[in-house]
Structure 1
Amino acid sequence: MPEPIINPLLMTPLNTVLLVIDMQEKLVPLVDSSEKVLWNVRRLIDGAGILGVPALGTEQYRKGLGATVAPLAEKLGEMPDKLHFSACDAVASQLQQLERPKVLICGIEAHVCVQQTALDLVALGYEVFLAVDAVGARFRKDKRIALRRMESSGVTLTTVEAALFEWCRVAGTPEFKQISQLVREEGP
């Protein structure tokens, strides 16, 4: 059997970290299509767990915006409370310890914390991916413009399903069967 091709453009469980930004109690209900964003973020976290991709989370000013919503908080564990919009300072040491060149981002809000984090990570030399269907903002225009700005700055846009299958890479494994179940879930 030939050796598998190692493509440096692809995310794998060994080269990627999932970063979930500010999915908090007082923010999530304000986001356009919040149920769909929340569902997609949860599927990414579950897929990361199945495939061994480390998942980090952050919270913006927890005292004012509340904790991460319950379905996600229990899956992410302890999260730093940050005041800067960018999550880079809050997760820098964890990212350095993990020594992975790629970061897949999801969360809210697209044009504030997500965008500033993505741009900072690009500036620090990380390859940044953004699951566009697991990112939200209160207003569609803010999300749309943020996606354009991030993409023009070197962030690679993807979707939850594409990311899950990219991490999985091969069919016929027990992990593939679990990922397939996540992909087939009925959305909100």
Structure 2
Amino acid sequence: MRLTRDAGLLLIVDLQAGLMPVVDGGEQALREAGWLAGVAEALGVPVWLTEQYPAGLGGSDPRLLEALGAHRRWEKVHFDAHAEPAFAEALAASGRRQVVLCGAEAHICVLQTGLGLLAAGYEVAWLSEAAVSRRADEAALARRRLEAAGGQAVSADMVAYEWLERCDEARFKDIHRRFLKGRAPRPLRFF
């Protein structure tokens, strides 16, 4: 699968204030999801986020919301966001067939959403440095399971450059200046 901005959508699953203090790698997940959301917005790629039962877990982490520009928010009670009828209908209507997926918890809502999307015929990319759980081993197991089902592991940089495609247009220069130039290296989680 080659990711394209015309087919793509960034889906940030349940990076909620009530979860972040107990999630392993939560700070990095917030940074990477927020960074890629900025690139997505600059390229016209839709950014959607979900919140699992926000009355109990709180809304999306304020640091994430601060980093986001235009986005669409979905409340859900199913662990699989695609099992929510309104979400599934809106995604189908969007015409977007590639979903870059990240969030918490990787082994519950992110995994089940990924499996649901794959079963519905979507291409799914697992954003490795921003799919996190309370325990890193559970996030690793979830990633392996999604890959076995047909999803692909990617990094935020991979996604950004695939969406960009080329370096000889003004859009690249603007995005490079705003998001890519001087981007500090960060550890990748190779599970």
TM-score (norm 2): 0.88
Q: Is the 8 A contact 1:118 1:150 kept in 2?
A: yes
1:80 is paired with a residue whose SS is strand
CA distance in structure 2 between the aligned counterparts of 1:160 and 1:139, rounded to whole angstroms: 21
- Select the residue among 155, 171, 185 that pairs with 2:183: 185
Q: Which moved more, 1:74-83 or 1:42-51?
A: 74-83
Gaps of 5+ in 2: 187-191
Residue deviations 1:77-128, cap 9 Å, x none? 4522111111113321221111121111111111000000000100001111
Q: Is the 8 A contact 2:83 2:116 kept in 1?
A: no
Work out whether 1:114 is the aligned partner of 2:110.
Answer: yes
CA RMSD of aligned residues (A): 1.6
TM-score (norm 1): 0.89
**Residue in 1 aligned with 2:123?**
127
CA distance in structure 2 between the aligned counterparts of 1:43 and 1:11, rounded to whole angstroms: 17
1:69 deviates by: 1.2
1:79 is paired with a residue whose SS is strand
1:175 deviates by: 2.6
Q: Decide whether aligned partners of structure 1 residues 77 and 169 sit closer, same or farther in structure 2, where only a CA change above 3 A counts.
A: closer
Work out whether 1:149 is the aligned partner of 2:145.
Answer: yes
Percent of aligned pairs with the same amino acid: 34
CA distance in structure 2 between the aligned counterparts of 1:40 and 1:174, rounded to whole angstroms: 24
Q: Is the 8 A contact 2:46 2:71 kept in 1?
A: no
CA distance in structure 1 between the aligned counterparts of 2:119 and 2:41, rounded to whole angstroms: 28
**Residue in 2 aligned with 1:79?**
73
Number of residue pairs aligned between Structure 1 and Structure 2: 180
Q: Which moved more, 1:14-23 or 1:68-77?
A: 68-77
Work out whether 1:21 is the aligned partner of 2:13.
Answer: yes
CA distance in structure 1 between the aligned counterparts of 2:34 and 2:185, rounded to whole angstroms: 11
4+ long deviations beyond 6 Å: none
